[in-house]
Structure 1
C-alpha cells in the first residue's frame, strides 16, 4: 500500500485490453469532471491484466470506442501484466471477477482488505455513511485520508462475506458494441458513486 497521496486505484481484468482499461479511463473521466485539472494530484488510476498475452497493446477497439463515447480518453494506453508491485502501490484494487481477486491475493495476501470485485464494491458502497468519513477538500492529503477510510468502511460492510456471482463483470472480448456498452454501464454504475463518495461536490 502506498501510504501517501495521491489516492491510488488499480483496475484488474484478464488481458488488460477491455474491462480494466475501460474502468481506468472512465474513472479518470469521472475524477476530472469533479476536480478538473487537479485530478492527477488527487487520484491516480491504473490497470493491469492477470495474463500477459496483450502486454504493450492498445485498448481493444470497441472498448476504446465506448470510452470515447462517454467522454473519456483512450489515447496513450498500453496493456501490462499485473505484478505484485502494482498491487503494493494501490490503495484500492478493483477486479472484474472473483477469480481475479483470488489471483491478486495469491500475489499479495496482505491486500485482502483493499481488494474487491468491482460489482461487490459498488454494492457495498451504498451501505457506507459518507458523513462519517474524514472531511473532503481538494487537497491530496485530505483526499488520500478520505479514500483510505472509504475503503476501510466498505471492507467493514463486507464483513468477511464472499462476493456474489452477480458481482462479476462479464468479459466483452469478441462481442459486439452493445455488449461493450452494457459492461461499460456496469462499470460506471460503481465508479460514479465511488468518485462521488471520494470527491463530494
Structure 2
C-alpha cells in the first residue's frame, strides 16, 4: 500500500550537530529566498505553503545560536532573533518533506532515526549537485508542494545513478571552534548549495508575481557576477512561517 499523500506546508528541515552554526545558517539563508515578511501581503501565503526549520543530532534544547552565525546573518540583513536550538527527533523527521544535512554522518543519523526518510534526506551540497540539471521549465508553476516534490524526485533519480563523489564534496566542515573567517567560508558554501534549488522553487511558486526576481536578503553577490538572478539559476543550488 502506498503512503498517504502529504499535506500542509512543504517542510524543509536543516540538520547539523548542535543546531548552533551550520543548520541555523542554512535555515535563515534558505528563508531569505522568499521575500514575504510577517505583516506583508504575501506573508500569509508563504506561511501556508512553506516551512523551513532546523535541528541538531546532539543538540541541547534551548541554546542560543553561535554568535558568529548571528553576526553573519545580521550582516546579510537577516534577523535571527528568537532562535533556540532543538534536538533532532523522529517526529521532526517524519513531519519534514525534505531533510538537508551538513554532512553524510548527519544524513546517516537521520535515516537511522527514521529509515523511511532515506528517499528525502540529502546533504545540502549533495542536493545542490543532484538537482543541478533541473530547469524552471521542468517544474510545475503554482503551489510550493508539487514543485518541491519534483525537486526531491529529481535528486533521488540522480542519486540512483550511483555516481560516487568524495565526502569533502558533500560535507560542510564544522566551524564551531574556529574564528569568524571559517564561519564566513561555511556560510558561503551553504549559500552556494542553496542558490539553485531555492531559486528554482521560489520562481516556480511565483513568490515574486511582478517585476524581476531580486537578490534574496541573505545572498552576497561575488565579484564578477552580473545579470538577473534567473539567468544564474542553473549554477546549482528562505524567514518562513
Report the CA distance between 1:160 and its aligned residue. Answer: 5.6
Considering only CA atoms, is the larger Rg found in Structure 1 or Structure 2? 2
- Is the CA contact 1:42–1:143 (under 8 Å) kept in the aligned structure 2? yes
In structure 2, do the counterparts of structure 1 residues 106 and 21 end up closer, same or farther at CA, with 3 Å as the change threshold? same
Q: Kindly report the root-mean-square deviation, in angstroms, between the aligned alpha carbons of the 2 structures.
A: 2.0
1:104 aligns with 2:110: yes
- Say whether 1:89 aligns with 2:90: no
Q: Find the partner of 2:30 among 24, 27, 30.
A: 27
C-alpha displacement of 1:85: 0.5
Cα distance change of structure 1 residues 58 and 160 upon mapping to structure 2, 3 Å threshold: farther
Matched, 1:63 2:69: yes
Please report how far the alpha carbon of residue 159 of structure 1 lies from its aligned counterpart in structure 2 after TM superposition: 1.3
**Equivalent-residue separation in structure 1 for 2:126 and 2:66 (angstroms):** 25
Is the 1:5–1:42 Cα contact (8 Å) retained in structure 2?
Answer: yes
Counterpart for residue 73 of structure 1 = 79
Tell me which protein shows more helix as a share of its residues: 1
1:115-174 Cα shifts (integer Å, max 9, x gaps): 00111011111122432222x23xxxx211111111111111111636631210010102
- The answer to whether the 8 Å contact 1:29/1:71 transfers is no
Q: Deviations over 1:75-115 (max 9, x none)?
A: 11110000000000111000000001110010111111110
CA distance in 2 between counterparts of 1:67 and 1:23 reads 10
Q: Helix, strand or coil: the match of 2:32?
A: helix
Q: Which moved more, 1:160-169 or 1:29-38?
A: 29-38
Q: Deviations over 1:27-58 (max 9, x none)?
A: 11222279952432221000100003x32011
Alpha-carbon deviation of 1:5?
Answer: 2.9
State whether structure 2 residue 179 is matched by structure 1 residue 172.
Answer: no
After superposition, the Cα gap between the structure-2 partners of 1:147 and 1:113, relative to the gap in structure 1 and judged at 3 Å, is same
Number of corresponding residues? 195
Note the C-alpha offset of 1:11: 0.2
Among residues 137, 155, 170, which one is paired with 1:131 in the alignment?
Answer: 137
Equivalent of 1:115 in 117, 121, 129? 121
Structure 2, unpaired ranges of 5+: 204-212, 214-241
Whether 1:9 and 2:12 are equivalent positions in the alignment is yes
SS in 2 for 1:31: coil
Structure 1: state its 5+ residue gaps. none
1:47 aligns with 2:54: yes
